[in-house]
Structure 1
Amino acid sequence: MIVAHENALSRVGIKTIIENSCGKVSVSTVGSFEALVDAIHQRTDSLLIVDVDLPGMSGMTGLGTVLREHHPPRTCLAVPAVSRDLVSRCIAVGALACIDHDHIADEVCDVIAALADGRPYFSRLCGDPAVTPCKTTAALTQQQLNVLHVLAQGKSNKQIGRELGICEGTVKVHLNAAYRALGVVNRVSAVTKLQDLSRTKDAGASAAAVRYHH
């Protein structure tokens, strides 16, 4: 995987999160469009996460150019804020995925899984505090659910990280994103909301089974 971002700290942060949380993924980083093109030539099978403000790329125009001319297999564009219009433009230039800068830490493993399978992926807007809280557990990423399930056992962030094989800082990132998605502000309310959503899901499944039986 190649991570292309103008900010050195962001490059290191994204690389660390991927290596700590997303399984066995080899990650290299670049800080400019020219370096990205060189890296693509050297590693033609790499998945890409490319910052829209990458120096020398000229935003969407430059991304379209690199996708047309160099044909990297699967690319995700990282942007300040995901919108319907931006998603349409990403698709138009050939990107397979689009992720919000604020959600990278929480969603990057899902992005990688989608890219590896050749599936599109776009950041979930329900994680935005300005949007109505999600009403199903399907709105949470798998890693968020994993963290919440261990949290429900009364374990600390350090214990959660040890059990899931991720660092404590990553646990905090997943928890904060889950809080936003669920519309809650602390651990107790998050667990309570998760249990309520799970009961609602189970009740719906039971009702569907009864209707099918009859």
Structure 2
Amino acid sequence: MDRIVVADDHPLFRAALRSAVDKAAPGAEVVECASLAEAKAAMVAGPVDLLLLDLKLSDSEGMAGLAAVRAEQPTVPVAVVSASEDAPVVRHALGLGAAGFIPKSSSLPQMVEAIAAILAGDSWAPDVPEADDDDPAGRVASLTPSQLRILEGLKAGRLNKQIAFDLGVSEATIKAHLTSVFRKLGVHNRTQAVILAKSLDPS
């Protein structure tokens, strides 16, 4: 029997996703979570066949939650659920390893189709135009999970020593990572990195 975790902080939308899961995978066990922490706990508690992850949760916003889950549970397929349908956001999520991207504007039949496809081992996402070589989402997607967490720290206005404490590493390690982060993003300083990262935040 499939075990599917639904992580969304809006009860009504969780109910909509549960309805889609019931149709796509009849009999599946559905674990509803309102935060990233609850979703992580559910994944530790037992095998998970699919995580439906909202990009905006009380304890996670943007791609940080997706990156954290992919780093900690690399074998669990993750379908991002988002109010945004912007092409850079879709490409960014898929670039970070999401198995699918389901816009919240999708009809129930579309959600059912998406969930069934991902459970079958396929990917599913709305059609978006190809990225050009200078696509910011592609540059951010090239970051490692650790580098992405550092970038999220920069966006939050945290100092190097604070980010180092958050990640349990030395401040020197953060400085070394920042050099790589700036190079991959094609920027020269923290301010430019933050501006680029915020341009990709789902609205």
**1:77 aligns to 2:91 (yes or no):** no
Which runs of 5 or more residues in structure 2 are unaligned? 129-203
> Is it true that 1:49 corresponds to 2:52 in the alignment?
yes
CA distance in 1, matches of 2:79, 2:48: 14
- Runs of 4+ deviating beyond 6 Å: none
Of the three residues 13, 16, 21, the one matched with 2:19 is 16
Q: Distance in 1 between matches of 2:5 and 2:69?
A: 14
Higher helix proportion (structure 1 or 2): 1
CA contact (8 A) 2:24 2:116 kept: no
Which residue identity does 1:23 align to in structure 2? Answer: P
User: Following superposition of structure 1 onto structure 2, how do residues 117-196 of structure 1 map, counting pairs within 5 Å?
Assistant: 117-123=120-126
Distance 1:56 1:20, change over 3 A: same
Gaps of 5+ in 1: 126-214
Distance of 1:5 and 1:19 partners within structure 2: 17
1:66 aligns with 2:69: yes
Q: Quick check: 2:100–2:114 contact (8 Å CA) kept in 1?
A: yes
2:78 partner SS: strand
Paired AA for residue 76 in structure 1: A
Task: Name the count of aligned residue pairs.
Answer: 125
RMSD: 2.0
Q: 1:124 to 1:48 in 2, by over 3 A?
A: same
Deviation digits for residues 9-53 of structure 1 (CA, Å, limit 9, x no counterpart): 211232134224643322111000100100111133320111111
TM-score normalized with structure 1 length: 0.53
Residues 1:93 and 2:96 are matched in the alignment: yes
Larger Rg: 1
**CA 1:20–1:112 in 2, change beyond 3 Å: closer, same or farther?**
closer
Q: Normalising by structure 2, what TM-score?
A: 0.56
CA contact (8 A) 1:3 1:29 kept: yes
1:1-12 → structure 2 map (5 Å cutoff): 1-12=4-15
Identity between Structure 1 and Structure 2 (%): 20
How many angstroms does 1:6 deviate by?
A: 0.7
Q: 1:57 to 1:65 in 2, by over 3 A?
A: same
Q: Say whether 1:25 aligns with 2:46.
A: no
Q: Give the letter aligned to residue 39 of structure 2.
A: L
